[in-house]
Each structure stands twice: as C-alpha cells, then as structure tokens.
Amino acid sequence: MYDITNFNEYQAEYKKSVENPELFWAEKAAQFSWKEKWNEVLKWNFSEPKVEWFIGGKLNITENCLDRHLKNNPNKTAIIWEPNNPNEQSQTISYKELHERVCRFANVLKKNGAKKGDRICIYMPMVPELAVAVLACARIGAIHSVVFGGFSFHSLADRINDADCNMVITADGAYRGAKEILLKAVVDEAVIHCNTVNRVIVLHRTGCEINMQPNRDVWWHEEEKNVNSNCDAEIMDSEDILFILYTSGSTGKPKGVVHTCGGYMVYTAYTFKNVFQYKADDIYWCTADVGWITGHSYLIYGPLLNGATTVMFEGIPTFPDAGRFWKVIDKHNVSIFYTAPTAIRSLEACGLNYVAPYKLSSLRILGTVGEPINEEAWHWYNKNIGKEKCPIVDTWWQTETGGIMISPLAGITKTKPSYATLPLPGVQPVLLDESGNEITGNNAEGRLCIKFPWPSIIRTTFKNHDRCRETYFSVFKNYYFTGDGCKRDGNGYYRITGRVDDVIKVSGHLLGTAEIENAINQHKNIVESAVVGFPHDIKGWGIYAYVITENKPENTEELKKEIVATVTKYMGAIAKPDKIQIVSGLPKTRSGKIMRRILRKIAENEIGNLGDTSTLLDPTVVDEIIKNRIN
Ligand code: 7RM
C-alpha cells in the first residue's frame, strides 16, 4: 500500500528524503525480502560516475515479484492478457501460475545453457510469455535485453552484438492490428551478423511458416516438456546487473543503459504505489510495450512488486477500431490507466463516436508518459476519458532514470495541464544555465539536471563507461544531465519543454537522428542525409529528411518510397521519414559540420529567422533548400 496519503505527507517525505536520503531509502528497502541485508546504503560520486545502493545486500527481484505474494494471495490475478484480436480469449494468470510458469521457463533457460551474468536478447510480441521470459532471466540471474518488436534486423543485430548475447528468445510471428509480423525471419536475418548467438528459443504464436535452424533453434513448448517448475532464485548482489535496455543517443549507436537489482526494485515499487496511489483491488493498465522502459518498470516490475493486477495488451489502439482502449477498460474494469500523449492525440483525432459506447466508470486514475502532453490533449483526456473525476498524473522520467522522477501523486498534488509538477521524494532536480550555474528561484528556465542519486539511476552504459560519463555526467560537472530543457513556474512546478540534443520523440519513441540517417544512407542512390524533427500534431515530432542523391533520380516519388522502404527494412517502421526533400547540398560550416539548427528551422517553416548563415561554406544552398521545402 502507498506511503503518502496527502500533500502534507508528501512534503514531509520529500524533506526527509533530502535531509537524510540514506535513512529514507533504507526504510523503503526494508519492506522487501532480502536474502542478506545490505551493510551500507549508498556510496556515490558523479565524476567517475559510480553509484551503489544497498551495498552488500543479496536478493532476487523475482522473489519479491512472485514468491512473496504466494503466502497470502496465491490466487490473485497477476496478469490479465488482452489479445490483439478481440475475438480471441483473454487470459488471466494468477500469481501462483505466473510463479510456476516463470520457474519452468527458467529451467528451460538453464537447460539450454544460460547462466548468471549471460546476456539474453528478448524479441517478442506482447504476450504473457514475454513477461515470463523477462522474469525467468531475472530468476536465474541472466541479464535481459529486451528489443522492441517494431525494430528491424539491423537495429536488432546492433543490440545483440553490443551486449554479446548468447541467446535470443523470440516468437514465430506477432499480430499487430491487421498486420502479421514475421519476427523469427527478422531474427534469422539479424543473427547472420551476430556470432555470439548459439541458441534461439521460439514461441509458437501466429503459426506462420518459419525456418528452424538445427542445433540453434528450439521451440519453447518442446523445451518446456522436459523440465519441472521448481527453480530456486539465484542469489544476486544489489549491484548485479538486472537488465540492459538500449536507448537512442546523439550518435548512430544506441546506448545499453544498465540497471541493477536492488535499487531498481526499491525505486520502481515505491514510485508505482505512490504516484498511482495503488490500492489492492485496482486493475492497472499500462499500454506501453515491454520493449521500452515504461513496460519494464510499470507494466512488469513495479506492479508485480506490489502484488498488483497488471493488464498486458498485445494490439494497437486503433484495431479493430479507435475504441479499442475504451472497450478494454470496460471489459476488464480497469481502474488505473497509463498511456502516452501520442496515443491520446491520435484517438482524439478519430472523434468521440469511438468513446461514446463505453462507460469508463471503473476508471479512478489516469496517467501519461513519454513526452510533453499539450493542454488540448490533456483537457480531452480529462473530460472524455476521466469524466473530470480522475486525477491525471503527467509522469516525467527516462530510460536512464529507471523510474518516475517528476510527477503529481494522483489526487494529492494539484495538477496543472502540461506540467509534470513536482519531484518525487528522493529526487533533487535543478535548472542550469548554459555555463552550468544553478538557477535558483522560481519562474526560471534551463537545462534539467539532477544533483543527487536516487536508487534506480543508470549505473553505466554496457561495456562503455566512458560514454555514460560523457553523455550524462560530464556535460555539467557533478550533475546528472537529462538532455531535457525545462521550465519552473512561480509555484516551483516543472514543465519539461523537450530535448536539447539530437534525439527526437516520434510517437513517444526516442530515436536518434544519426541512427535514422544511417538507415537512409543504406539506399544505394543516397550519398548523404540529414534528419531533423518537426512538430507533428499527433506524433509529437515528425521526421524530416534532407537527402543528397548520387544520380539524379528518374522518378522522385519512387525514390522517396524506396527510401521509406529502406528505413523500414533496416531499422523499423517507427523510423520512417514523414517528409523527404532531395537537396543538392547541406548547410555546412567550414569544418564540415552540418548546421542542424538551420535545417530544423526550415523543417518547422520558420524561415524568417534563420540566424547567422554567414559562417556557412556555401550559403546559397540554404536558399535552394528553403525554396523546395516540404510543408
Ligand atoms: C519514460 C520515457 C525519455 C524522454 C525524456 C523527455 C521525454 C518523458 C515526459 C517527457 C515531457 C513527460 N523514457 N519525456 N516523459 N517529456 N513530459 N511526462 O519516456 O527514455 O524513452 O524517453 O522522454 O524528453 O528525456 S525514454
């Protein structure tokens, strides 16, 4: 049950967490089951960086997610699974069953050679077995690296190779709306480029035809026949790695964000129950895919750590029609609903006819995550979904933070549309100016940094600690730098204004512009490209690509289609450019650096105010680009 029940308590908890963070978090951590207690709460410095929580503590997160609930509540539903196709049966899985399935599959992993510390890539549809696979890895101490099923072979291969995964868990195919996706075929293509993978475990989902490579590929259901469901949890150190999750950065190569067992457990559980004011009879639904951090922290770990009932949905918001979310809420009596602003905007655009048939009377609390929610969408959500009775929590956080950092506590913190409001206990945000000075006082704007560690802070980027330091800890000395711009209003409320680096949030998915450029450059007729974001009514940001061709294309529309197909095949449909402009040159400085600022302004159609272009190698390319810009 939640700790904070009113605003005074929030303030008291916050004060305590700042004055004595170690005592504060030790009290929270004591609520879990540990195999051995920690001997020191926290050691840290942001210069290496090195952050350790609950030092010397031994635990297994799955005992806290599963075994711990079996004594009092074995038959409580852990997962309600709603399939893509509304005519297929939904499933309910009790804590007892989930425990059994996790232990059984953990034995399958062991039988196939997996052991503590191994990296296992999970590339699966949103089916219960995905949660089982994640937890089974954690059970045996293998490090899971979940890759979103919408990524294509190259992105998958990159992630498998970076982590040196020796195993991939996948399915034959996936259902996504009206489409069927051939997951195993993507794995086959990826693994050609990965020489560490010696085992692929394949779940039977769609029954599509696949190729099983002898000595490498095995069926999930066949393997399960040969094992029992007793599996002791591996004893893990607090600071052993729980998982790696790749996130896009300013360079073309994604970063393997590392989270560890103890701190991640304590923080996701604490934030889940307090932000959503979770009660034992809630039915909680987070619509995020497990391939993203939100799915890790608030679909699987946070809810299960609290013994909650968590809904997992295989499909998409618009299939079979734009009323699907609302239908599922009524069907399963969802009381807490957590989704992304981009989903809200796209459903809003479909009109209220899709909302009208549903009562939505089970709803108690609403949440959003992933990007700023514009006021318009906030009001629509509040009025038409929450019926003006459900507090909305606008939760700001990142893959790197592991859990929610700035957010209202549902029904406790007074909300303000488009504001994530106040930091959670344990979180110390600051705004810095360009030279790295703290801007004190309210009515301020700057770069959002955090000046003290919280338990689920990123520990490193896998196999590349320098990159972790350079990206997050050396831009501003002794601060964790979020990469976000931020405003603080007169009441000290925070409003995140967006990224200040070369990553863009497209439909809530973080994508590096350099990654998209790499994909575009795979097309044989493209010599160079530059990608920037432009504001998009539904996606938040759209992708605008400027491309230089080697030979003048015979048919430009055809070329654009080919570029889109190339990006889809190589990286995934989420990275498809919305606008492609063929240019003869790009605005570059004398040292050859692309002036993205100018390209961004043109993409935003803000051509009156391009700033100084005199330092460009060839200022005339700008005129050409402006003239042919795509609106
Ligand atoms: C959880 C997640 C992180 C980036 C972050 C922000 C943006 C996330 C909000 C938000 C405004 C929010 N992890 N962001 N939540 N911006 N208000 N409530 O999204 O690693 O994929 O992205 O997302 O820019 O830095 S993430």
d(CA 513, CA 116): 35
551-577 residue pLDDT tens: 999 999 999 999 999 999 999 999 999
CA distance 137 to 139: 5
Range 309-315 average pLDDT: 98
DSSP structure class, residue 588: B
Q: Residues 480, 579: one domain?
A: no
Q: Which residues pair with 511 in a beta bridge?
A: 504
**Distance from residue 287's CA to the centre of ligand 1 (Å):** 15
541 and 445 assigned to the same domain: no
pLDDT at 614: 79
Going by the DSSP 8-state scheme, the letter that residue 233 receives in this structure is: P
Q: Are residues 459 and 521 in the same domain?
A: no
Distance CA 290, CA 288 (A): 6
Domain membership flag for residue 449: yes
pLDDT of residue 1 exceeding 70: no
612 CB neighbour count, 10 Å cutoff: 9
pLDDT value of position 568: 97
Do 337 and 225 share a structural domain? yes
Q: CATH number of the domain that 202 lies in?
A: 3.40.50.12780
Could you read off the pLDDT of 413-427 as tens digits, one per residue?
999 999 999 999 999
Residue 499 lies in a domain: no
Residue 451 located in a structural domain:
yes
Q: Where are the beta strands (DSSP E) in 30-152?
A: 40-45, 50-55, 58-59, 77-82, 91-94, 119-123, 143-146
CA of 340 to the centre of ligand 1 (A): 10
Domain membership of residue 517 as a residue range: 507-627
Same domain, 468 and 531: no
The answer to whether residue 2 scores a pLDDT higher than 80 is no
* Overall number of domains in the chain: 2
Determine the 3-state secondary structure of 394 from DSSP.
strand
Contact, 583 vs 624, CB < 8 A? yes
pLDDT digits (tens, 9 = 90+) for 142-190: 999 999 999 999 999 999 999 999 999 999 999 999 999 999 999 999 9
Amino acid at 406: I
The verdict on residue 496 lying in a domain is: no
Q: Which of 255, 297, 398 to mutate to test the pocket of ligand 1 (most atoms within 8 A of CB)?
A: 398
Q: Are residues 481 and 511 in the same domain?
A: no
What is the predicted pLDDT for the residue at 252?
82
Long-range contact set of residues 325-328: C-beta below 8 Å, sequence gap at least 24: 325/287, 326/354, 326/355, 326/357, 326/358, 326/360, 326/385, 327/86, 327/357, 327/358, 328/82, 328/285
Give me ligand 1 centre to Cα 371, in Å.
Answer: 5
Ligand 1 site residues (CB inside 6 A) read 247, 292-294, 369-372, 394-399, 420, 482-484, 496, 499, 505, 510
How far is 287 from 294, CA to CA, in rounded Å? 9
Domain co-membership, 517 together with 475: no
Q: State which ligand 1 atom lies nearest to the alpha carbon of 394.
A: 18
- Same-domain check for residues 397 and 534: no
Distance of CA 124 to the CA centre of its chain: 15
Residue 497 counted as domain residue: no
Q: Please report whether residue 437 resides in a domain.
A: yes
Helix (H), strand (E) at residue 130 = helix 128-140
CATH number at residue 511: 3.30.300.30
For residue 335, being part of any structural domain is answered with yes
Q: Are residues 139 and 264 in the same domain?
A: yes
- Domain boundary among the residues 428, 455, 486 is at 486
- Residue 251: what pLDDT? 85
Cα–chain center distance at 232: 30
Take atom 8 of ligand 1 and give the residue whose Cα is closest: 370
Q: Would 225 be classed as within a structural domain?
A: yes
Structure tokens at 94: 């009790």
**pLDDT tens column, 334-372:** 999 999 999 999 999 999 999 999 999 999 999 999 999
What pairs with residue 369 in β-bridges? 395
Distance CA 438, CA 6 (A): 30
Answer yes or no: do 465 and 511 share one domain.
no
Task: Give the mean model confidence (pLDDT) for residues 387-396.
Answer: 98
Nearest protein Cα to ligand 1, atom 6: 371
Whole-structure pTM value: 0.96
Residues 524 and 378 in one domain: no
Q: What is the mean pLDDT of residues 388-411?
A: 98
Whether residues 310 and 231 fall in one domain:
yes
